[in-house]
Amino acid sequence: MATPNSQIFNDARQDLSGKWGTAIVTFIVYIVVSMVAGFVPFGSIVLGGPLALGIAIFSLHIVRRQEAATGDIFKGFDNFGNSMLALLLVALFTVLWMLLLIIPGIIKAYSYSMTFYILADNPTMQPMQAVDRSMEMMDGYKLKLFTLQLRFMLLAILCIFTFGIGFFFLWPYASVTTAKFYEDLKAGQAQPEVMNEINSIQ
């Protein structure tokens, strides 16, 4: 994947053009539902996975210039079992790595970062397969994603000086940018597979 982070950053902003209102409302609903779930025993565990998958679906719709609606965040419930188990696996593996050392735990978290985008594209895929596929995709690209997201960490500091209003723009921007990263990563890794198929035919 040779696309510079600066281009991914700018492309995501262009994808959001004309859709900021929908994106902001969607993330407000997502945050409210997540907060409510947090007050219910095991609510975050039960609802966290489907909501994470729903946000991935919504963000991919934006990136792919498809119809995106706030209701997309509830589409993760169509794949409730897989999404919930995927969240549990990612959380468990990340915690286990962090028990060894914090830095390895953070690195592994980046390895698992594409899991819900993969599930969005492959609803029938088993959760462990999605986690494994994410690790394969992110091999050699964890630092690239970190430096991309570092921009949003810096922007988050600036959002504090907007009395928090800037976060309503930052959250969807960060999510769509990560979805854009996934799309670019997937496209770049698909090309060698296509070439291998062509070579095998020849």
Contacts of 73 (CB under 8 A, 6+ apart): 26, 29, 30, 33, 51, 54, 55, 57, 58
**What confidence tier does 1 reach under pLDDT thresholds 50, 70, 90?**
low
User: pLDDT by residue (tens digit) across 104-150?
Assistant: 888 999 999 999 999 999 999 999 999 999 999 999 999 999 999 99
Domain annotation covers residue 199 = no
* Count of domains forming the chain: 1
**What confidence tier does 195 reach under pLDDT thresholds 50, 70, 90?**
very low
Query: What is the pLDDT, as a whole number, of residue 196?
Result: 47
Phi-psi map region of 139: left, alpha, beta (phi>0 left; psi -120 to 50 alpha) = beta
Domain annotation covers residue 197 = no
> What does pTM read for this prediction?
0.88
* DSSP per-residue letters across 64-116: TT----GGGGGGGGGGHHHHHHHHHHHHHHHHHHHHH-HHHHHHHHHHTTTHH
Over pLDDT 70: what percentage of the chain? 93
User: pLDDT by residue (tens digit) across 54-105?
Assistant: 999 999 999 999 999 999 999 999 999 999 999 999 999 998 888 877 888 8
Pairwise pLDDT comparison (181 vs 192), residue with the higher score:
181
Average pLDDT over residues 177-197: 76
Residue ranges making up the domain that contains 64: 5-189
**Distance between CA 58 and CA 172 in Å, rounded?**
10
Query: What is the pLDDT, as a whole number, of residue 98?
Result: 84
User: pLDDT by residue (tens digit) across 34-55?
Assistant: 999 888 888 888 899 999 999 9
